[in-house]
Structure 1
Amino acid sequence: MSSTVVIAGGGPTGLMLAGELGLMGVRAVVVEERAEPATVSQGMGMHGRTLEVFRQRGLLDEAGVARLPVWPRTPFAMMWLDVASAGPEDQTYAFPQWRTEALLEARARELGAEIRRGARVAGLADHGDGVSVRIATAGGEESLEAAYVVGCDGEFSAVRSAAGIDFPAEGDTYYGMIGDVPLSDPEAAFSNGRFPGGMFAVLPLQPGAVRFMTVEFERERPPAGTPATGDELLDAVERITGERPDVTPGWVSRYGNHTRLATQYRKGRVFVAGDAAHVLFVSGTQGLNAGIQDAVNLGWKLAAAVQGWAPEGLLDTYHAERHPVGARLARHARAQMRLLHPFDCVGDVRELFGEFLRYPAVHRFLLEQSTDDVYAMPAGDDELLGRRLPDAADLLRDGQGLLVDSTAEPLDVAAWSDRLRLVTASATPARRVLVRPDGIVAYVGTDDEETRAAVRTWFGEPAVAGVSA
């Protein structure tokens, strides 16, 4: 079997996954259709919990995070949530997607990933013990053997289609445009908000420029591959507001469709992640952030399988853990659309929902719905289980798991030293906390045999010759 993992798509999800694999010594080949890196992008926001992952891998230190502007407010169906009481983990930070991609590509290359630009996955065949991948470039096609293939290639994923993974449409469809507009007068007034035909917003971008953003419900966007234009954006603004701004857009892009969720995140040796697994309504900046979390959850599990120490069923936990998150986010997206459209039918519901927003607990709940991922663990009810261990970022930079042991007799885990590190600590109450390579707490307890069983559940059988376990 080849030890290579092929990743279709060089956006944030694919590049994060390539870096995770490289950190753990597994070769990744990223196949990206764009010939050059992006220098502008639709995505502008990053959640605090995604920054936790970046700190965990040494991608951003505390000083770098401190310099990032914090969004002063976050929308839910164009009703503003109060973020004043939110912790840093539930804030949204201004961090453009193109900068995210540049950061992640540099790290992936540093860790040995191969980035093939101007290429795309044209087909694949899962043989059971490996996958043959057809890669198309301007010069023709070639075949590459891989241990696994991961589709991070977006809404119209060729990998998902080739694997036969269903991607059903749910809820209303919508069509949106984004465009960056040079503007000498930053105080220029535009009619923006909700309209019978959709939504229009003007967002600050940088000195001398703003971003126009439109949403039209139950309107199909042009076919894939049709170039987006400034006139297309201005036509949309005019349909929505009845006014055509006298501006000349620069960069423009389109987005939107139904909310979609893949029925399975794994099929044999083929996986999907990011927008290839879930397409969500634009509000709340969920797509990029969910994709990063997909990659971090999957990366160490694929590495374990390639390196031969993955316990039985480990790869299946990717779907078991991330698919419910995708389902929750899809429900969150559909709920927002139900509060926005049809325009003449949602007034009473919005008014009632506005009454709910008088309560700080409702704001907190809605913020956490976008960001707080908690995984079900096999046993136990400790509040740490299934969550990222707080204040452990510096301990996880090498990609190994941790056993944080504050008991009087720390457990010997030398037999797993190639994948698990013992960290002794002084804490009350005394206990053992098993942390997976992705930073998620998988076990909390004190019993020796229970701890060893948990280690085997997540880290497999020991591999160090001559060392007992």
Structure 2
Amino acid sequence: MIISGAGPTGLMLACELGLRGVRVVVLERLAEPDPTIKAGSVTVPTAEAFDRRGLLPRLVDAQRESFELAQRFLPAGAPPMTPPPKFAGHFGGIRLTADLFDATDPAFADRGPAGDVGFVSQQQVEAILAEHAAALGVPVRRGVAVTGFDADDAGVTVGTDRGELRAAWLVGCDGGRSTVRKVAGFDFPGTPPEITGHQAVVELRGGERLGRGWQTTPTGIYAHGPVPGRVLTVEFDGPPADRDAPITAEELEKSLRAVSGVDVEVTAVHTATRFTDNARQATTYRLGRVLLAGDAAHVHSPFGGQGLNLGIGDAVNLGWKLAATVHGRAPDGLLDTYTAERHPLGAWVLDWTRAQIALMRPDPHARALRGVVEDLIATTTGTTHFTKMISGVWHRLDLPGDHPLIGRSAPDLVLSDGSRLADHLHDGRGLLLDLGGVRSGVDVPDDRARLVTATCPTHPDLPGLLVRPDGVVAWAGGDGLDTAVTTWFGTA
């Protein structure tokens, strides 16, 4: 198995495959991890995915480091920052405030400790996953660029700038300008960009005159913080003439002055990137033995912090299905469910980011609409709704069955022996949790799913759960358990 790209998506997928005994190698064109500022938060599904592989303590430590850094940027005497979902971010630069969030909403129930983690950067995520991959013995070959490939019915011959490799499968996790996607010929329709955005960590002279957080101005949108020196600008003057040109202090200063109206001076640049709102999605995520995941499959603006998390979700959904296919144990059609389940969520993210661009435009019609949305967000119901959407707790797959838990991320139940449901998913297998309502004789392939018998005092009416390796509930009582087992895990 070859994975092109050692970003969060590629590393997560490699770990999922390595965990299930698949021989996999990751090829990354960059010789060192990319230090450029990127995503700054993880959603609840991402935190749950890490929890289910025993990695949550690392995320907790990373969040603590992020909060300590951000706290230094707050005014003297300001209260400490709180963890998600109260630290819910923004929608189109309209901030969601903690005092309007309804923490009793059922969507946030039973999320466990993963529900309190979110303020973690992409670099921190990559470092955690790189260490996990090394512990699993998964090789990551840096400084090796995929230049092309030839695919046939039996596998893929991959060309690199270091020679050729042969594998049964190739997965492109190589970003928005994916070589794998282009060479394979995936259709990639969407909408063209209309903005130029900058995000950077800089040293400023006169920065105290900038507003903190997200700011709306007559010419665009800018953000200042939450970590010292972090700035973001959005200008509606079309895409940049050259996305690859070096980003200078003069360019950032010009953009920040144009949007903020403040005569600041950028005296040093520590990290910087340009972005646009180009929004495109592959029509399928698989062509034969070539698959796509992460930004290679879908690109969009970064607003709402969905990109990193969408890629992690792709990897967790694909990993166990591809592993079962490699081992010859996949039920018919299992790999096809990857596109079927992940494509609709990717399409939603594209529209979610497009809506934010529409609200950010400086024209009178957009600003009038922005005022309406601001009024909605300034209510408990509105803030809670947007927090649910941003945090990802609303995600549900269209799986057979009437129980409200089916298709959703499994609740992190605390069992009678003191363990949590997430503790039983560390090895990448599925879980049949018998809480007293699973009839005897169900044939669960123990190399693909474990059987755990326990009770759950907080949910005495729940008979049991069949949980896929990606944490999705496939059965939650009643008829259909045998069918669900064979549908997702095959036969012993």
What's 2:446 paired with? Answer: 417
Runs (4 or more) in structure 1 with deviation over 4 Å come to 86-92, 412-415
8 Å CA contact 2:466–2:473 kept in 1: the answer is: yes
Are 1:349 and 2:369 an aligned pair? Answer: yes
* CA deviations over 1:33-57 (Å, ceiling 9, x no partner): 1111234532221223311111111
Work out whether 1:246 is the aligned partner of 2:265.
Answer: yes
Distance in 2 between residues matched to 1:226 and 1:154, nearest whole Å: 18
Contact residue 194 and residue 239 of structure 2 kept, 8 A: yes
| Counterpart pick for 1:431 among 447, 455, 463 | 463
Q: Secondary structure at the match of 1:247?
A: strand
Letter in 2 for 1:416: P
Counterpart of 1:454 in structure 2: which amino acid?
A
Instruction: Give 2:123's aligned residue.
Output: 98
Distance 1:158 1:196 in 2: 39
More strand by share: 1
Correspondences of 1:226-245 after superposition (within 5 Å): 226-245=245-264
The 1:412–1:356 alpha-carbon spacing in structure 2 relative to 1, beyond 3 Å, is: same
Report the more deviating stretch, 345-354 or 55-64.
55-64
Q: 2:76 maps to what in 1?
A: none
Within 5 Å, give how 1:389-408 maps onto structure 2: 389-391=410-412, 392-407=421-436
Mapped to 2, the partners of 1:415 and 1:78 lie a distance apart of 48
| More moved, 416-425 vs 53-62 | 53-62
* 1:398 aligned partner, one-letter code: D
Paired letter, 1:229: T
Q: Does 1:57 align with 2:78?
A: no
**Aligned position for 1:467:** none
**Hey, what does 1:8 align to over in structure 2?**
4
1:117 matched residue in structure 2: 142
Q: Is it true that 1:27 corresponds to 2:23 in the alignment?
A: yes
Matches within 5 A, 1:136-215: 136=161, 141-170=162-191, 172-182=193-203, 188-190=208-210, 193-205=215-227, 209-215=228-234
Whether the aligned pair in 1 keeps the contact of 2:316 and 2:470 (CA below 8 Å) is: yes
Distance in 2 separating the partners of 1:253 and 1:78 = 19
The structure-2 alpha-carbon separation of the partners of 1:358 and 1:196, relative to structure 1 and needing over 3 Å to count, comes to closer
SS in 2 for 1:122: strand
Q: Please give the per-residue CA displacement for 1:173-192, whole angstroms capped at 9, x wherever unaligned.
A: 2221122123588x711267
Report the more deviating stretch, 68-77 or 279-288. Answer: 68-77
Closer, same or farther: CA 373–459 of 1 in aligned 2, 3 Å? farther
Q: 2:409 aligns with which of 376, 380, 388?
A: 388
Aligned amino acid, residue 37 of structure 1: P
**Would you say the 8 A contact 1:179–1:249 is kept in 2?**
no
Instruction: State the alpha-carbon separation in 2 of the partners of residues 226 and 66 from structure 1.
Output: 33
Per the alignment, do residues 82 and 97 of structure 1 end up closer, same or farther by CA in structure 2, a change over 3 Å counting? same
The residue that corresponds to 2:488 in the other structure is 458
The 3 A distance-change label for structure 1 pair 40 and 17 is same
Kindly provide the CA deviation profile for residues 248-293 of structure 1, in whole angstroms up to 9, marking residues without a partner as x: 1322222224122222112222111111122222221111111111
- Structure 2 partner of 1:465: none
Q: Shift of residue 65 of structure 1?
A: 7.5
Q: CA-to-partner distance for each residue in 1:51-105, whole Å, 9 max, x for gaps?
A: 1111111112396487363364511111122344344767773212111111101
Change (3 A) 1:90 1:111: closer
1:156 match: secondary structure? coil
Q: Which runs of 5+ in 2 are unaligned?
A: 68-82, 413-420
SS of equivalent residue, structure 1 residue 248: strand
Mapped contact 2:4–2:10 kept (Cα < 8 A):
yes
Paired residues, number? 448
Asked if the contact 2:37/2:201 (under 8 Å) is kept, the reply is no
Give the secondary-structure state (helix, strand or coil) at the position aligned to 2:274. strand
**Alpha-carbon shift at residue 342 of structure 1 (Å):** 4.2
Q: How does 1:222-301 map to 2 (within 5 A)?
A: 222-250=241-269, 251-301=271-321
Task: Name the CA distance, whole Å, in 1 between partners of 2:461 and 2:424.
Answer: 21
Gap regions ≥5 residues in structure 1: 463-469
Aligned to 1:214, the other structure's residue is in SS state strand
* TM-score of the aligned structures, taking structure 1 as reference length: 0.89
Give the AA of the match of 1:100: V
**Alpha-carbon distance in 2 for matches of 1:281, 1:369:** 16
The letter for the 2-side match of 1:247 is: V
**For each residue in 1:177-208, what CA deviation from the matched residue of structure 2 results, as whole angstroms up to 9, or x when unmatched?**
122123588x7112672234322221132xxx
Q: For 1:360 and 1:267, how far apart are their aligned partners in 2?
A: 45
Find 1:316's aligned residue among 324, 332, 336.
336
Q: Return 188-197 or 71-80, whichever deviates more.
A: 188-197
Amino acid at match of 1:223: D
- What is the RMSD computed on CA atoms of the aligned residues? 2.4
Q: Would the alpha carbon gap of residues 349 and 133 (structure 1) be closer, same or farther in structure 2, given more than 3 Å must change?
A: same
Higher RCO (CA-CA < 8 Å; seq separation 6+): 2
Confirm or deny: 8 A CA contact 2:281 2:346 kept in the other structure.
yes
Question: How high is the sequence identity, in percent, across the aligned residues?
Answer: 40
Alpha-carbon distance, 1:383 to partner: 1.3
* Partners of 1:170 and 1:258 within 8 A in 2: yes
Q: Which residue of 2 aligns with 1:46?
A: 42
Separation of aligned partners in 2, 1:75 and 1:95: 16
**Separation of aligned partners in 2, 1:170 and 1:91:** 35
CA distance in 2, matches of 1:349, 1:357: 12
Mean alpha-carbon deviation: is it higher for 404-413 or for 297-306? 404-413
TM-score normalised per structure 2: 0.85
Looking at structure 2, the residues matched to 24 and 32 of structure 1 have their Cα atoms a distance apart, in angstroms, of 22
Cα deviation per residue 1:414-459 (whole Å; 9 max; x = unaligned)? Answer: 6611111111122533624211111111112244xx3222111001
Match of 1:442 in 2: 474
SS at match of 1:363: helix
Aligned mates of 1:30, 1:200 — CA distance in 2: 37
Distance in 2 (CA, whole Å) between partners of 1:368 and 1:127 is 43
Q: CA deviation at 1:322?
A: 0.7
Paired position in structure 1 for 2:393: 372
